[in-house]
């Protein structure tokens, strides 16, 4: 089970945070700080995994953005990398050639997509088609509202 | 902010203007983000966010704010919170938004709630009604949102309120709702297993759901259930196997494929479940052998996801009741992982090895050199995983080496951190870990170095670090302290005594209380007590009552040192003048340049003394580098065991040998080098023994093989690798003796680019002499190869003698003439790719300079002069059973223009080098 998922920039700016287990605010801030320093300090050509306390940190950099998640010991690191990748694919499909700015300016959309992919720290839906469909369905409602009429189709 | 962002920002307005309505909504957020990116300092950002938050505050409390505006405000509030600022006044509005807004507002409201409110936040109670309403909504999207938020934030005590409704959703006609309901129930199960016990039957329905997504979600619950009590679910094994077979057979819809692998997540989940079910259960395991085999077979594609599946598969194979055939396949898979150049796969391979060595320690042997390499890997994660693996193969024989390695690793941490610590918290945290794990086994210097680092920093810069240390130690001391090593306690008490006053928010009494608490613990050594008392002495006055109490209680202590310190403490705390005089803050001033010795030094120099040199410089001057600068290749034939040269009948494992001994003794020994004399072994260059491709006909193949197995040549390309080899033999000692031969072969193929191959040519036996021949082959040429090794033999059973030997070989020793005709030479020349040209010295002292020069080369280097036509000559040679090299020589004025070609990229260079040397020596 995934404990948390963080997206942060190369400068260590947090772009998205998802916590699957309840943690006090202070603890969260500390974790975010630990993760950014640890992951950003990694040299190139090292593996994408880290040990942190009794968790395993799996991270991957996509352009200027780091995707970083924490797993329990029995979880499969490679699979987690693919979850991150699938998330990127979904973002890409939704935003169309996604970049960091899309996520900065539409971070709530990024959360909605994540909520369709993962639930309670476990993968919820692996079919890209289904996820896009359900996001579409939610956005369809927006289309009925006048302010979203001009929203480009994805 | 980077240029790219800057550029994109300028392009943004156009993007947003195209979305008229949405643009208005996100406008404020856009402005906020944009202005933040333009700021240069943290301080400016703080001010900006402060302004933003007060604007938000105003807006949310205004009665005129519409829900639509509220949604936009909420997004801004979420953004501020993400930046780390407190926007807690908006929480209640987030709940309101979820309650009262339309679907769009609800969505943002729920998102804000799930981001803002933790399980256990009191405001969550206000959400229950909203969630209940939405769960019953006819709008699918509202139901989905409600289920998502329930799974995200609902605490234990609120589950009963929504449970019946969530349970109902298991039979909802829409699969997305069923799926989310299953996952919400899974979450409930994790938080409060008792509350969902009655719905197990419904989980079963979810498992047989016609939608694969719902079925896959239910596996999360089953994995958890089976992990807790595998025996209750054995009857489901058949179903899981069938599902996995269907997945493997591609029966699922195509959109479940991930990079053309069918439903990998589902596969992995099933593999995990199967391994739990088959554990220590032969009959259940038998049901899954076939599908596991298929799974191993199918996962061939070279993509990360297939490796993820393979890894789980291997784990499953090793967890269930063993089946030899599967184990073999799985072991091969691990090999692919471990030997992979991709570092992630290597990591996973190490992990898999760590797992499987618990079942079969011999598997580590095949990969010992890789493991040794990983132990020195620059990546910390890999290193750590390797240590984990070593830890699993620890046995009575290798325990000391492994523990030493682990401590090396531990001590490596502080040294590393001293120079590269990315930030204070990490540094202190790491040091805490090191101290508490490494504890008293650390070298004495480590705590001292650490304290010095803390103490020597400039006050302004390093106060942060000290503050953090104080804070972190107080937390540590508030916890359980009895297990902490003494050195850690000492470090902590020193830091607290020295720097507790920096932290204003810390109550002095609390510090004193924590330290005195330590004194009461029986496990604390008297040395540590002294440290603690010194710390207490340093804590500024004002808490006289506590100190006096303490001094009082210690004054009857049996330890005289403590008693004395307690007395001092009492006096100091009562006499503030004395105290000020004794404990001056920052009193230590060390003259590290030793300037007070200047006079003495100049006098001594004037009197003719040699100037001071630092130790490292002295050492440099003393030790001469006798080694060639590159390509030093010691070869160790480290474990040649020639048993019993006195009496062949006592040979161990040598039925083949003894059987042949009569025949062998009739061999004509002419031409065979005598390496054994009366005095034992005569060190000789064995490598120049007969070429390997022309084996002596008299040698019996059987004995050859037998000897090869008993005498294990261990060829290595460099000193470093020799160390590794030694390390390997000390690490892997005691793991499956029988397989050591294949191991040696393996070693050689794994990982070495340059290598020498050793094989016993023959082993001749007379009554008192054994002659062993090795042929060493050079795969990759090197200027020099040094050869070291030992021969061990037994004169009496149980009494082993060891003789070391060594020698140096150069490429020249491995060069053999290549006999070809001019036509063959021409053909070969055209087919070779790597060439080198160089002018060499021409020997001009005789009548025919070209011929003289070539003959000199031929004599020195065993070349074959193919032909000489006019001023050109062609010469051929080869590496001993290796690559050929062709030389084309032409007289060019006073020089010899040499053109070399070979299929091997490096060989021409080496031959050229030796030619130059040969001519120079001539």
Give the largest CA-CA distance in chain B: 115
The model's confidence at residue B912, banded by pLDDT at 50, 70 and 90, is confident
Which tops the pLDDT comparison, B851 or B634? B851
Distance CA B582, CA A38 (A): 44
Q: Secondary structure of B568-585 in the HEC alphabet? A: HHHHHHHCHHHHHHHCCC
pLDDT at position A26: 87
**Across B84-93, B742-751, B884-893, least confident range:** B742-751
Task: Inform me whether the C-beta atom of residue B33 falls under 8 Å from chain A C-beta atoms.
Answer: yes
Q: Which of A46, A123, A141 sits opposite B141 (nearest CB)?
A: A141
Give the integer Cα–Cα distance in Å for B913 and B910.
5
pLDDT, residue B728, reads 67
Q: Distance (Å, rounded) from C-alpha A72 to C-alpha B544?
A: 50
Q: For residue B227, what are its two tokens?
A: 């992990």
Using a CB cutoff of 8 Å and minimum separation of 24, what contacts does B1-4 make? B1/A11, B1/B37, B1/B38, B2/A10, B2/A64, B4/A64
Among B156-160, B511-515, B597-601, B632-636, which range has the highest average pLDDT?
Answer: B156-160
- Distance, in Å, from the CA atom of B250 to the CA atom of B241, rounded to the nearest integer, reads 14
Q: Which of A26-30, A76-80, B70-74, B368-372 has the lowest mean pLDDT?
A: B368-372
The mean pLDDT value for B167-178 works out to: 89
The residue written with tokens 């947090």 in the block is A14
Which of A9-13, B394-398, B909-913: highest mean pLDDT?
Answer: A9-13
In this structure, what is the dihedral angle of CA atoms B424, B430, B436, B439, given to the nearest 10 degrees? -100
Per-residue pLDDT at B16: 41
Tell me the average pLDDT across B763-768: 49
Q: Supply the pLDDT for residue B616.
A: 61
Do B910 and B781 form a contact (C-beta atoms < 8 A)? yes
* The pLDDT of residue A65 is above 90: yes
B162 touches B154 (CB < 8 A) = yes
Contact B807, B683 (CB under 8 A): yes
Which pLDDT value is given to residue B713? 40
- Taking the CA of residue A69 and the nearest CA in chain B, the distance in Å comes to 16
CB-CB under 8 Å, A33 with B423: yes
Residue of A137, A153, A108 lying closest to B71 (CA atoms)? A108
Arithmetic mean of pLDDT, B627-640: 40
* pLDDT level of residue B618 (50, 70, 90 thresholds): low
pLDDT band at A33 (very low <50, low <70, confident <90, very high): very high
Q: What is the pLDDT of residue B461?
A: 63
Is it the case that residue B21 has pLDDT exceeding 50?
no
Residue B643 Cα distances to B217, B702, B737, angstroms: 65, 18, 18
The alpha carbon of B236 is separated from its chain's Cα centroid by a whole number of angstroms, namely 38
A86: closest chain B residue by CA: B258
Average of per-residue pLDDT across B863-890: 86
pLDDT exceeds 70 at position B42: yes
* B916 pLDDT more than 50: yes
Please report residues of B whose CB lies closer than 8 A to that of A145.
Answer: 102, 104
How many residues would you count in chain B?
Answer: 922
Mean pLDDT in chain A?
Answer: 85
The position carrying tokens 């992951």 is A39
Q: How far apart are alpha carbons B331 and B310 in whole angstroms?
A: 11
Q: Is the pLDDT of residue B685 over 70?
A: no
Report the 10 Å Cβ neighbour count for A1: 18
More confident residue, B179 or B29: B179
Distance CA A15, CA A104 (A): 6
DSSP E strands in B155-268: the ranges are 257-258, 261-262
Confidence of residue B696 (pLDDT cuts 50, 70, 90): very low
The pLDDT mean for chain B works out to: 74
The stretch B777-790 carries a mean pLDDT of 70
Q: Which of B456, B466, B476 is nearest to B502 (CA)?
A: B466
For chain B, positions 272-331, list CB contacts with chain A under 8 A: 272, 304-305, 307-308, 311-312
Residue B40: pLDDT above 90?
no
Q: Does residue B356 carry a pLDDT above 90?
A: no
DSSP state of B501: G
Name the nearest CA neighbour of B805 among B725, B706, B695, B687: B687
Residue B123 pLDDT class (50, 70, 90 cuts):
confident
* Residue to substitute from A36, A56, A124, interface B, most B β-carbons within 10 A: A124
Is the Cβ–Cβ distance between A95 and A153 less than 8 Å?
A: no
The answer to whether residue A52 neighbours chain B at the CB level (below 8 Å) is: no
Structure confidence at residue B460 as a pLDDT band (50, 70, 90): low
Strand residues in B225-316 grouped as ranges (E): 257-258, 261-262
Contact B849, B841 (CB under 8 A): no
Interface residue of B106, B256, B275 to substitute, partner A, most A CBs within 10 Å: B256
For the ranges A144-153, B202-211, B238-247, B576-585, the lowest mean pLDDT is seen at A144-153
Tell me if chain B has a CB within 8 Å of the CB of A46: yes
Question: pLDDT category, B178, cuts 50, 70, 90?
Answer: very high
- Alpha-carbon distance B620 to B443, whole Å? 27
* Integer Rg of chain B from CA: 39
Looking at the predicted structure, is the pLDDT value of residue A84 above 90?
yes
| Alpha carbons B733 and B370: distance in angstroms, whole number | 16
Q: Return all residues near B644 (Cβ < 8 A) that are at least 6 apart.
A: B650, B651, B793, B794, B795, B797
What are the tens digits of pLDDT across the range B95-119?
Answer: 999 998 888 888 899 999 998 887 7
> Are the C-beta atoms of residues B321 and B360 closer than 8 Å to each other?
no
Which of B120, B183, B307 shows the shortest C-beta gap to A119? B183
- Least confident range of B773-777, B824-828, B842-846: B773-777
**Selected residue with higher pLDDT from B166 and B608:** B166
Buried b (16+ CB within 10 A) or exposed e, B526-561: eebbbbbbbbbbbbeeebeebbeebbeebeebeeee
Burial B62-96 (b: 16+ CB within 10 A, else e): eeeeebbbbbbbbbbbbbbbbbeeebeebbebbbb
Per cent of chain B over pLDDT 90 is 14
Is the predicted pLDDT of residue B473 greater than 50, yes or no? yes
For A20-34, B237-251, B789-803, B897-911, which range has the lowest pLDDT when averaged over its residues?
A: B789-803
pTM to 2 decimals? Answer: 0.57
**Among chain A residues, CA nearest to B422:** A37
Q: Does B217 touch chain A (CB under 8 A)?
A: yes
User: Looking at the complex, does the CB of residue B190 fall below 8 Å from at least one CB of chain A?
Assistant: yes
Rounded to an integer, what distance in angstroms lies between the CA atom of residue B763 and that of residue B708? 9
| B402 pLDDT tier (thresholds 50, 70, 90) | low
Cα distance between residue A66 and residue A9, in whole Å: 6
Answer with the residue of higher pLDDT: B915 or A153. B915
Count the alpha carbons within 13 Å of B564 in the hemisphere toward its beta carbon.
4
- The pLDDT of residue B62 is 86
pLDDT-derived band at B378 (thresholds 50, 70, 90) equals confident
Q: Choose the weakest-confidence range: A95-99, A131-135, B819-823.
A: A131-135
Rounded Cα distance, B388 and B713, in Å: 30
B468 within 8 A of B461, measured Cβ to Cβ? no
Give the minimum alpha-carbon distance from A24 to chain B in angstroms, rounded to a whole number: 7
Instruction: Give the per-residue pLDDT at B677.
Output: 37
Judged against a pLDDT cut of 90, whether residue A81 lies above it is answered with yes
Give residue-wise pLDDT tens across range B479-507. Answer: 887 778 888 888 888 888 888 777 777 77
Query: Mean of the pLDDT values across residues B457-476?
Result: 76
pLDDT band (50, 70, 90) for residue A46:
confident
What size, in residues, is chain A?
A: 154
What pLDDT is attached to residue B133?
92
What local confidence, expressed as pLDDT, does residue B783 receive?
67
Is 60 exceeded by the pLDDT of residue B416?
Answer: no
Q: Is B409 exposed, middle or buried (0-12, 13-18, 19+ CB in 10 A)?
A: middle
Confidence of residue B184 (pLDDT cuts 50, 70, 90): very high
How far is the C-alpha of B410 from the C-alpha of B430, rounded, in Å?
Answer: 10
CA Rg, chain A, in Å? 16
The confidence score (pLDDT) of residue B542 equals 66
pLDDT at B745 over 50: no
In this complex, do B255 and A82 lie within 8 Å of one another by their Cβ atoms? no
Look at B26 and A149 and tell me if their CB atoms are within 8 Å. Answer: no
A17, A46, A100 member nearest B82 (Cβ): A17
């Amino acid at each position: 089970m995934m404990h948390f998922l963080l997206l942060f920039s190369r400068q260590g700016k947090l772009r998205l945070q998802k916590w699957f287990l309840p943690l006090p605010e202070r603890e969260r801030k500390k974790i975010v700080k630990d993760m950014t320093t640890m992951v950003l300090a990694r040299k190139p050509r090292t593996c994408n995994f880290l040990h942190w306390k009794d968790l395993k940190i799996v991270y991957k950099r996509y352009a200027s953005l780091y995707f970083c998640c924490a797993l329990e010991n029995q979880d499969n690191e490679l699979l987690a990398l693919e979850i991150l990748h699938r998330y990127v694919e979904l973002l890409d499909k939704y935003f169309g050639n996604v970049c960091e700015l899309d996520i900065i300016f539409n971070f709530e959309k990024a959360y909605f997509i994540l909520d369709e992919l993962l639930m309670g720290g476990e993968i919820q839906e692996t079919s890209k088609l289904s996820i896009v469909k359900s996001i579409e369905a939610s956005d369809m409602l927006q289309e009925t509202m006048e302010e979203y009429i001009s929203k480009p189709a994805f | 902010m980077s240029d790219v962002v800057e550029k994109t920002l300028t392009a943004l307005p156009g993007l947003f203007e195209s979305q008229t309505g949405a643009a208005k909504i996100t406008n404020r957020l856009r402005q906020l983000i944009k202005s933040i990116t333009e700021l240069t300092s943290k301080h400016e950002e703080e001010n900006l966010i402060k302004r933003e938050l007060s604007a938000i505050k105003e807006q949310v409390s205004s009665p005129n704010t519409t829900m639509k505006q509220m949604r936009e405000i909420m997004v801004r509030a979420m953004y501020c919170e993400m930046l780390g600022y407190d926007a807690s006044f908006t929480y209640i509005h987030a709940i309101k938004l979820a309650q009262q807004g339309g679907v769009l507002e609800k969505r943002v409201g729920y998102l804000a709630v799930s981001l803002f409110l933790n399980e256990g936040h009191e405001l969550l109670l206000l959400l229950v009604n909203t969630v209940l309403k939405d769960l019953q909504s006819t709008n699918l999207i509202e139901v989905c949102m409600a289920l998502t938020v329930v799974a995200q934030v609902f605490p234990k005590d609120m589950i009963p309120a929504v449970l019946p409704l969530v349970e109902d959703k298991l039979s909802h006609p829409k699969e997305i709702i069923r799926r989310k309901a299953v996952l919400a129930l899974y979450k409930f199960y994790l938080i409060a297993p008792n509350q969902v016990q009655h719905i197990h039957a419904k989980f079963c329905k979810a498992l047989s759901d016609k939608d694969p997504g719902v079925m896959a979600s239910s596996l999360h619950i089953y994995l958890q259930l089976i992990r807790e009590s595998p025996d209750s679910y054995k009857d489901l094994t058949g179903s899981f196997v069938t599902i996995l077979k269907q997945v493997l057979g591609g029966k699922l819809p195509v959109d479940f494929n991930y990079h053309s692998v069918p439903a990998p997540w589902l596969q992995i989940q099933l593999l995990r479940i199967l391994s739990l079910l088959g554990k220590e259960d032969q009959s259940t395991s038998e049901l899954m052998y076939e599908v596991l085999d298929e799974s191993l077979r199918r996962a061939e594609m070279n993509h990360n996801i297939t490796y993820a599946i393979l890894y789980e598969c291997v784990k499953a194979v090793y967890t269930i009741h063993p089946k030899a055939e599967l184990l073999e396949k799985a072991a091969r898979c691990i090999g692919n992982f471990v030997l992979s150049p991709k570092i992630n796969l290597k990591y996973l391979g190490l992990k898999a090895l760590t797992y499987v060595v618990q079942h079969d320690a011999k598997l580590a042997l095949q990969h010992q050199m890789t493991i040794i390499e990983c132990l020195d890997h620059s990546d910390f994660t890999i290193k750590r995983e390797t240590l984990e693996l070593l830890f699993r193969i620890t046995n009575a024989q290798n325990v000391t080496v492994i523990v030493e390695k682990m401590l090396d690793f531990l001590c490596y941490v502080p040294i590393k951190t001293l120079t590269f610590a990315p930030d204070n918290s990490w540094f202190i945290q790491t040091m805490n870990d090191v101290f508490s794990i490494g504890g008293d086994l650390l070298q004495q210097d480590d705590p001292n170095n650490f304290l010095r680092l803390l103490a020597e920093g400039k006050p302004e810069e390093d106060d942060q670090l000290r503050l953090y240390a104080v804070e972190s130690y107080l937390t540590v001391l508030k916890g359980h302290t009895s297990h902490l090593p003494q050195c850690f306690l000492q470090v902590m008490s020193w830091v607290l005594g020295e720097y507790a006053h920096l932290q204003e928010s810390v109550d002095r009494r609390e510090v004193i209380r924590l330290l005195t608490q330590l004194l009461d613990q029986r496990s604390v050594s008297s040395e540590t007590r002294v440290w603690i008392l010194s710390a207490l002495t340093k804590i500024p006055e004002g808490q006289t009552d506590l100190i006096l109490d303490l001094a009082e209680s210690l004054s009857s202590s049996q330890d005289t040192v403590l008693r004395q310190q307690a007395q001092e403490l009492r006096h100091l705390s009562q006499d503030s003048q004395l105290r000020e005089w004794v404990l001056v803050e920052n009193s230590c001033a060390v003259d590290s340049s030793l300037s007070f010795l200047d006079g003495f030094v100049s006098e001594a120099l004037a009197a003719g003394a040699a100037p001071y040199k630092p130790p490292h410089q002295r050492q440099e001057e003393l030790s001469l580098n006798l080694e060639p600068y590159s390509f030093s290749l010691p070869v160790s034939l480290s474990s040649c065991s020639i048993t019993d040269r006195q009496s062949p009948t006592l040979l161990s494992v040598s039925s083949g040998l003894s059987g042949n001994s009569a025949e062998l003794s009739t061999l004509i020994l002419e031409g065979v080098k005598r390496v054994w004399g009366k005095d034992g072994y005569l060190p000789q260059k064995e490598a120049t023994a007969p070429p390997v491709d022309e084996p002596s006909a008299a040698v019996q193949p059987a004995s050859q093989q037998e000897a090869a197995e008993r005498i294990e040549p261990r060829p290595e390309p460099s000193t470093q690798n020799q160390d590794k080899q030694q390390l390997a033999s000390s690490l892997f000692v005691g793991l499956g003796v029988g397989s050591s031969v294949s191991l040696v072969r393996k070693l050689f193929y794994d990982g070495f680019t340059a290598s020498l191959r050793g094989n016993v040519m023959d082993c001749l036996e007379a009554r008192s002499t054994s002659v062993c021949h090795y042929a060493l082959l050079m795969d990759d040429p090197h200027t020099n190869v040094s050869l070291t090794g030992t021969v061990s033999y037994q004169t009496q059973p149980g009494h082993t003698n060891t003789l070391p030997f060594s020698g140096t070989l150069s490429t020249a020793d491995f060069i053999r003439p290549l006999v070809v005709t001019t036509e063959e030479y021409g053909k070969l020349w055209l087919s070779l790719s790597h060439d080198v040209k160089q002018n060499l010295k021409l020997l001009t002292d005789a009548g025919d300079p070209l011929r003289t020069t070539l003959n000199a080369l031929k004599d020195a280097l065993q070349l074959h002069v193919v032909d000489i036509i006019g001023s050109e000559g062609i010469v051929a040679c080869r590496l001993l059973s290796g690559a050929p090299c062709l030389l084309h020589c032409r007289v060019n004025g006073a020089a010899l223009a040499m053109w070399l070609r070979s299929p091997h990229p490096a060989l021409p260079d080496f031959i050229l080098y030796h030619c130059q040397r040969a001519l120079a020596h001539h």
